[in-house]
């Protein structure tokens, strides 16, 4: 992983509510997909028994995550792009109200709008984007949506290969599927123009501590996590989507957990974390 990108990932639990210094140019344009990046990087040192690093999620981990999801109350979907670049899931094509997860797509749409216009991220735009991603401010999302519209979001979805995404008239009306969000986060470098990549991914790595539950909590310090969550507490809908890069290794993967009709918001958070813990384990045990 290029050092410039590694520096853009903030440790889980770090607050990121203040404005950043603006866009920084990445030192190099890494290969587009997880599989291509894995092929281009040196092999990681063996982590057990003289063999190379195990693929994540393991077969046992994926099986355990599916079983856990099936046993939870309400509705749960999961999808992962594994460290070999293959997508797997459970109820992965079911559509959900996106809640704030779609703000990651709004960020990508705004970066592409700025590229087309030949503009930089000025201080005003930086303030809006920082609020939209790091504290999930809805007013900031309104501002960006008014710039990019449905057309901008649909263009991002098309670029990412998302087949179930819909939106009509407002970002809050967006519908997403776990498989599609795994495609987006599993190919995250490609979603942002090179000029803005480090800046945009830095925002996704700087979500405020109070929202760093679920996947980041399960990942701990071993992984650099760029992610976005979404929730509707009144409906007990809780989502998270993330890119994870091993800090001391070459493995990368994407994890998405979408839920609805959970008994409570807290229960939904536990569901997301429980799925992620099993996907990140070697043997399926959290």
pLDDT over 90 for what percent of the chain? 76
**Confidence (pTM):** 0.82
Q: With 80 as the cut, is the pLDDT of residue 89 above it?
A: yes
Q: Cβ neighbours of residue 246 under 8 Å, at least 6 residues apart?
A: 44, 53, 222, 223, 224, 252
**123-177: per-residue pLDDT in tens?**
999 999 999 999 999 999 999 999 999 999 999 999 999 999 999 999 999 999 9
Within 13 Å of residue 132, how many CA atoms lie on the same side as its CB?
25
User: How big is the CA angle at 231 (ends 153 and 141), to the nearest 5 degrees?
Assistant: 40
Task: Give the three-state DSSP class for 262.
Answer: coil
pLDDT at 61 over 50: yes
Tokens of 212: 């760093």
What pLDDT shows up at residue 285?
A: 73
State the angle between helix axes of 138-160 and 103-117 in degrees (0 to 180), rounded to the nearest 10. 80
pLDDT tens digits along 237-248: 999 999 999 999
| 268 has pLDDT over 60 | yes
Contacts of 109 (CB under 8 A, 6+ apart): 144, 148, 152, 153, 155, 156
Topology (CATH) of 3-18+54-280: Beta-lactamase (3.40.710)
Instruction: Please report the pLDDT score of residue 53 as a whole number.
Output: 57
The 3-state DSSP composition of the chain as helix, strand, coil percent (nearest 5) reads: 50, 15, 35
User: Is the pLDDT confidence value at 25 over 80?
Assistant: no
Q: Which of 102, 85, 284, 121 is nearest to 193 (CA)?
A: 121
The total number of residues written for the chain in this structure: 286
Higher pLDDT, 5 or 92: 92
Judge whether residue 255 has pLDDT over 60.
Answer: yes
Sign of the torsion angle spanned by Cα atoms 144, 6, 177, 158: positive
> In which band, very low, low, confident or very high, does the pLDDT at 95 lie, cut at 50, 70 and 90?
very high
Q: In the chain, where are the structural domains located?
A: 3-18+54-280
Tens-place pLDDT, residues 152-164: 999 999 999 999 9
Statement: residue 22 has pLDDT above 90: no
Q: Please give the C-alpha separations between residue 89 and each of 35, 225, 279, in angstroms, as whole numbers.
A: 17, 20, 11
- Residue 118 in tokens: 């030949």
Confidence band for 180, pLDDT divided at 50, 70 and 90:
very high
171: which 2 tokens? 């970002």
pLDDT at 38 over 90: no
Residue 50: what pLDDT? 39
Residue 14 has pLDDT above 80, yes or no: no
């Amino acid at each position: 992983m290029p050092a410039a990108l590694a520096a853009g990932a903030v440790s889980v639990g770090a607050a990121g509510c203040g404005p950043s210094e603006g866009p920084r140019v990445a030192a190099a344009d890494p290969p587009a997909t997880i599989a291509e990046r894995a092929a281009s990087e040196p092999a990681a040192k063996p982590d057990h028994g003289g063999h190379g690093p195990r693929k994540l999620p393991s077969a046992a981990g994926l099986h355990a995550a599916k079983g856990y999801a099936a046993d939870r109350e309400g509705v749960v979907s999961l999808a992962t792009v594994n460290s070999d670049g293959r997508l797997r899931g459970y109820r992965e094509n079911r559509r959900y109200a996106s809640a704030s997860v779609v703000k990651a797509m709004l960020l990508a749409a705004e970066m592409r709008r700025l590229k087309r216009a030949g503009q930089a991220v000025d201080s005003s735009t930086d303030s809006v984007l920082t609020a939209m991603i790091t504290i999930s401010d809805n007013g900031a999302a309104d501002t960006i949506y008014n710039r990019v519209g449905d057309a901008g979001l649909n263009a991002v979805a098309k670029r990412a290969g998302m087949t179930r995404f819909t939106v009509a008239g407002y970002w809050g009306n967006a519908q997403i599927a776990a498989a599609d969000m795994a495609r987006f986060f599993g190919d995250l470098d490609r979603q942002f123009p090179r000029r803005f990549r480090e800046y945009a991914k830095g925002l996704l790595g700087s979500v405020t501590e109070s929202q760093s539950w679920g996947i980041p909590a399960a990942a701990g310090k071993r992984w650099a996590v760029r992610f976005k969550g979404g929730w509707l507490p009144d409906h007990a809908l809780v989502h998270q989507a993330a890119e994870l890069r091993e800090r001391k290794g070459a493995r990368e993967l994407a994890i998405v957990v979408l839920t609805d009709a959970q008994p409570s918001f807290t229960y939904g958070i536990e569901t997301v974390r429980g799925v992620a813990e099993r996907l990140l384990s070697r043997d399926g045990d959290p």
